[in-house]
């Protein structure tokens, strides 16, 4: 039985700090017992090669090792750091735990406006504050609760062997871990990435800056925070700490936040964050950093930042500097040259089947050049690599349809092409939009003024969905329908004709489908009749309206009745004509036969 991290003591605390996990309380001890057990006993190195070795125990490595083992392969996982990778330990899981508290704090401040007061005197929550230490303890508890799913024990239970240590290739089909050689038929690189630091900033390396890997170790709320970077991590954490009460400034090199999002989405997020008190400095660059420790037992340092921008050079002071300026791949020290694996500045180079230059070595996730660095992408790539490596598959990286969510308030969700990307690639498209301003659920939830919308991009003149952008409180839940539409080629018209529950924000997705249907009907006399008399789609949110429908249906019934009368008259006339024609024909036939007709003499 491996020694527990819960034994306490300065030595264990130092070991945990070396793994960038602190404080070593009961929650972090449980986490480390699951994802980096002390004195882990590696299994014996077999004489025969493994069918597959996954190098790295993040999302990609766990999926590759477990799935291949469950399908009958002799598999191994090499875990150098913390099983679960960034997602569990310093990424998705802790960040969303923190964001849920920030969301609750914002909601609590709105309670008085919604009729919820405190105490017999009906006092509003004017003095509400967040117990930051308690919020961080909750984060650590929830992270430890989720950790067993990624633990070494869970990987072994799936049938894979786990080696805890650093892997280094010694040849095209061999690697070394803890001084022992392991051979393989196939290997999958899943070494992930780390926070990238801006180059050429004097004093930064010596300063106690934070990244996503250390931010969640804080136990004291910084009164002032400066965030470097306007991407997803930067804006999410900036808004969260502003909700907790920090004075937050964001330095953005470009002229807008979220450079990969549609411009309208970026504007909506910026407006919401500014309403929460976040200050932005656009076109600004961190030029120098100086720090000094504070006396009196203060845990947080004082940092002085030199910032260059369009307005010249200025000095900012803060207690926390969060660097969120992108990611770099973990490819150093792996002996990739010995394996015949090539890297670019952006990561490991792979083909569309995820093979490196060594066809028996695959790579997935954040260590790969040119792929979205997202947990769900790493997991999906790992499934592809297992299929292609062991089971004769030809699953292609280019076939992936990847949704991307920024968990601000409101959220931004994106999949496929935006209008700006389509224009840049000279792809002719049509755009269909539905505003959440008139969405009943958003009105009822007090979210209709957040600038939310759904925008769907289709191939010109068709309902073939190429991409979508959603700005909404739960945009991440809404984008999955459109991801499926792109992947399975479900047309926007089919979405518009599908019943969506009322009242939901998801009706806005249907509204884009109805907008397409209206555009399809436009210009057709028959369709114009339908539009006028059925009353389809006249609301601003694209969902249709019942206004005037009773009158329209009465008029429609009158028209139908008139049409039926006209048909009846036409039938009667036709019958009379037919009788007359028949009589004339009979008379002519009789005359031709020589029979006297009545009246002849």
pLDDT at 601: 32
Read off the tokens for 236: 């999410």
Low-confidence stretches of the chain (pLDDT < 70) are 1-2, 8, 120, 122-127, 295-298, 523-556, 586-587, 589-601
Place of tokens 């009105």: 443
Alpha carbon distance 246, 225 (integer Å): 7
Strand-pair category, 320-323 with 403-406 = unpaired
Query: What pTM does this model have?
Result: 0.86
Read off the tokens for 355: 């093979």
Is-cis flag, bond preceding 338, omega within 30? Answer: no
Going by C-alpha positions, the residue among 362, 353, 493 that lies closest to residue 56 is 362
Residue 335: other Cβ atoms inside 10 A: 15
Place of tokens 């001084």: 179
CATH number 3.50.50.60 is the correct assignment for the domain at 40-83+151-196+328-399: yes
pLDDT at 434: 97
Q: How would you label 64-76 residue by residue, b for 16+ Cβ within 10 Å and e otherwise?
A: bbbbbbeeebbbb
Read off the tokens for 48: 């025969």
Read off the tokens for 120: 């017999």
| 203 class by beta-carbon count within 10 Å (0-12 exposed, 13-18 middle, 19+ buried) | middle
- 8 A C-beta contact, residue 339 and residue 358: yes
| 511 class by beta-carbon count within 10 Å (0-12 exposed, 13-18 middle, 19+ buried) | buried
**Region label for 360, one of left (φ > 0), alpha (ψ between -120 and 50) or beta (otherwise):** alpha
Q: What confidence tens digit (pLDDT) does each residue in 519-565 have?
A: 988 756 665 555 555 444 444 444 544 444 455 556 667 777 788 88
Read off the tokens for 271: 């407006």
pLDDT at 526: 60
Write the DSSP assignment of 59-107 as a string of letters: HHHHHHHHHHHHTT--EEEEESS-TTHHHHHHSHHHHHHHHHHHHHHHH
Residues 6+ apart with CB under 8 A from 208: 291, 301, 303
**Secondary structure (3-state) at 529:** helix
Q: What confidence tens digit (pLDDT) does each residue in 209-228 have?
A: 999 999 999 999 999 999 99
At the top level of CATH, the class of 215-325 is: alpha beta
Are 40-83+151-196+328-399 and 215-325 in the same CATH fold? yes
Read off the tokens for 476: 């991440």
pLDDT at 576: 79
Alpha carbon distance 177, 175 (integer Å): 7
Q: Domain 410-534 belongs to what topology?
A: Enolase-like; domain 1 (3.30.390)
Residue 388's H or E segment, with its range, is: helix 375-390
Alpha carbon distance 291, 418 (integer Å): 42
**Secondary structure (3-state) at 124:** coil
pLDDT at 11: 86
pLDDT at 35: 98
∠ CA(488), CA(494), CA(495), 5° rounding? 85
Is-cis flag, bond preceding 410, omega within 30? Answer: yes
Alpha carbon distance 224, 317 (integer Å): 8
Domain boundaries, the chain: 40-83+151-196+328-399, 215-325, 410-534
Going by C-alpha positions, the residue among 229, 214, 260 that lies closest to residue 373 is 260
pLDDT at 577: 80
pLDDT at 403: 98
């Amino acid at each position: 039985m491996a020694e527990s991290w819960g034994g306490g003591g300065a030595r264990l605390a130092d070991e945990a700090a070396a793994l960038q996990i602190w404080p070593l309380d009961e929650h972090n001890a449980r986490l480390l017992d699951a994802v980096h057990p002390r004195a882990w006993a590696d299994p014996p190195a077999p004489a025969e090669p493994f069918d597959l070795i996954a190098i790295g125990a993040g999302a990609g490595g766990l999926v590759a090792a477990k799935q291949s083992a469950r399908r009958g392969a002799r598999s191994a996982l090499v875990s150098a750091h913390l099983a679960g990778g960034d997602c569990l330990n310093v990424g998705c899981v802790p960040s969303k735990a923190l964001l849920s508290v920030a969301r609750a704090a914002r909601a609590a401040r709105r309670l008085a406006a919604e009729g919820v007061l405190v105490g017999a005197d009906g006092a509003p929550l004017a003095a509400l504050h967040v117990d930051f230490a308690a919020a961080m303890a909750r984060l650590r508890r929830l992270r430890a609760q989720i950790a067993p799913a990624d633990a070494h024990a869970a990987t072994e239970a799936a049938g894979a062997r786990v080696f805890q240590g650093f892997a280094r290739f010694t040849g095209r089909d061999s690697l070394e871990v803890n001084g022992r050689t392991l051979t393989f038929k196939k290997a999958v690189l899943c070494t992930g990435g780390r926070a990238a630091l801006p180059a050429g900033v004097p004093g930064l390396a010596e300063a106690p800056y934070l990244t996503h890997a250390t931010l969640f170790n804080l136990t004291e709320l910084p009164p002032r925070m400066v965030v470097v970077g306007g991407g997803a991590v930067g804006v999410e954490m900036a808004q969260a700490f502003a909700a907790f009460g920090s004075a937050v400034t964001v330095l953005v090199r470009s002229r807008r936040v979220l450079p990969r999002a549609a411009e309208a989405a970026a504007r909506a997020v910026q407006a919401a964050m500014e309403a929460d008190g976040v200050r932005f400095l656009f076109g600004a660059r961190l030029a120098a950093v100086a720090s000094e420790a504070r006396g009196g037992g203060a845990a947080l340092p004082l940092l002085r930042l030199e910032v260059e921008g369009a307005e010249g050079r200025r000095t900012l002071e803060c207690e926390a500097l969060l660097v969120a300026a992108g990611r770099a791949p973990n490819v150093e020290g792996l002996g990739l040259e010995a394996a015949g694996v090539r890297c670019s500045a952006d990561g490991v180079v792979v083909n569309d089947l995820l093979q490196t230059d060594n066809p028996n070595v695959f790579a997935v996730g954040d260590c790969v050049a040119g792929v979205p660095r997202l947990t769900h992408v790493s997991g999906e790539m790992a499934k592809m690599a297992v299929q292609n490596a062991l089971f004769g598959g030809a699953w292609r990286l280019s076939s992936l349809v990847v949704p991307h969510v920024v968990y601000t308030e409101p959220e931004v969700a994106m999949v496929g092409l935006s209008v700006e990307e389509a224009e840049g690639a000279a792809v002719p498209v049509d755009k269909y939009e539905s505003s959440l301003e008139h969405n009943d659920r958003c009105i009822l939830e007090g979210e209709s003024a957040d600038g939310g919308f759904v925008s769907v991009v289709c191939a010109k003149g068709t309902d073939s969905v190429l991409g979508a952008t959603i700005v909404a409180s739960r945009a991440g839940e809404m984008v999955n329908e459109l991801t499926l539409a792109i992947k399975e080629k479900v047309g926007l018209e089919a979405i518009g004709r599908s019943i969506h529950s009322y009242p939901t924000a998801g009706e806005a997705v249907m509204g884009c489908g109805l907008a397409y249907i209206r555009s399809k009907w436009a210009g057709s006399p028959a369709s114009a009749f339908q539009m006028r008399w059925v009353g389809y789609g006249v609301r601003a949110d694209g969902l249709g309206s019942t206004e005037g429908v009773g009158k329209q249906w009465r008029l429609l019934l009158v028209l139908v009745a008139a049409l039926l009368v006209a048909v009846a008259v036409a039938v009667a006339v036709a019958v009379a004509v037919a009788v007359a024609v028949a009589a004339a024909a009979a008379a002519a036939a009789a005359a031709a036969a020589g029979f006297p007709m009545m009246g002849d003499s």
